[in-house]
Amino acid sequence: MNKRKVALGPGAASLILIVVVLSLAMLAMLAQIGSRNDYSLSSRSAEMITRVYELHELSERRLAELDAILVRCAENAEGEEYLKKVEESLPEGMTMDGNIVSWSEPLDNRNMNIEVQLNAPGEMPRVEWKNYKLQVEEPEEDWEW
């Protein structure tokens, strides 16, 4: 029997080496593009979450203002007189309908709409959350794909 030897010359080995190096370079480039996109998405998400928490902070501060008003009004009034004093003492931007106080906290293109129900004077807690919704007016320009 005749045995044949397959011998690869220096040209074939160089060609295989070039293919391997190009494949590794493509994989590295794809990994870099993926990581850059992940970083961009996480940065935008962190920015959005920061804005939402700013709105939460603003609404909690306004609730603290309302609570101070309720304490002051409860010292001097009862029943319908209490609700009337509270309505007269509300800060700008807050509205009252019966025993429901509502207000809105705007920040950029987001809007936090809040409604709380007033409890009877002397009752704890003084207010109960009824509505706490975040609305986005229009999508941000940099979020378009």
* Length of the chain as a residue count: 145
DSSP letter assigned to residue 94: -
Q: Which of the four CATH numbers 1.10.287, 3.10.450, 3.30.70, 3.30.60 does domain 48-139 have?
A: 3.10.450
To the nearest whole percent, how much of the chain has pLDDT over 90?
48
- Alpha helices by DSSP H, the chain: 10-76, 79-89
User: Pick from 118, 111, 64, 119: which is nearest to 91 by CA?
Assistant: 64
Which tens digit of pLDDT belongs to each residue from 25-76? 999 999 999 999 999 999 999 998 998 899 999 999 999 999 999 998 888 7
Domain ranges of the chain: 48-139
